[in-house]
Structure 1
Amino acid sequence: MDRQQILDLYQWALGICFRHPDKGEVPTAVVGVIHPREDGEREVRACADCVVVMEDIRREEAARSGSEYEPGHLGEVLK
């Protein structure tokens, strides 16, 4: 898959990228959810560049471990 095909697998909305908060609000996708002890549930959002980097890392890890890689599932455990 190319970059745009991978990005199209995510829902995009304005938000703050967890890796680049200094960019301010940019188009971001939810890549995980955290559960702070006293703050309920919070979404972890990433910009397009970070989503692509994170997908590359998942693909490489799947190849190393012999797991199946399917893009579009950041924040989920590899099977």
Structure 2
Amino acid sequence: MDRQQILDLYQWDDGICFRHPSRGPVVTAVVGTIHPRADGEKEVRACRDCVITMEDIRRENAARAGSDYQPGPARQGQD
């Protein structure tokens, strides 16, 4: 899959990228949730560049493990 095909698997909306908060609101996708002790559930959002970086890492990990790589948000955290 090329970059745009992978990005098309995600739902995008304005938000704050967890790796680049100083950039302010940018187009992001939810890549996970956290559960802070005193503050309920919070979405973790990533910008397009960070999503691609995360997908590249997942693809490399799958190749090392000899398993299939399936891109997209439903797979996050399951590798």
Structure 1 window deviating more from structure 2 (68-77 vs 58-67): it is 68-77
The one-letter amino acid of 1:75's match is Q
Structure 1: 5+ residue stretches without partners: none
The one-letter amino acid of 2:47's match is C
| Structure 1 residue 68, shift from structure 2 partner | 1.7
Counterparts of 2:5 and 2:64, CA distance in 1:
23
Count of aligned pairs: 78
Deviations 1:19-69 (A, max 9, x none): 001111000000010011111100000000000000000000011011221
Q: State the TM-score, normalizing by the size of structure 2.
A: 0.93
Counterparts of 1:59 and 1:23, CA distance in 2:
27
Q: Report the equivalent of 2:78.
A: 77
Identical positions, percent: 72
Name the Cα RMSD after superposition. 1.0
Segments ≥4 residues shifted beyond 4 Å:
none
Q: Report the equivalent of 1:23.
A: 23
3-state SS in 1 of match to 2:53: helix
Structure 2: 5+ residue stretches without partners: none
3-state SS in 1 of match to 2:22: helix
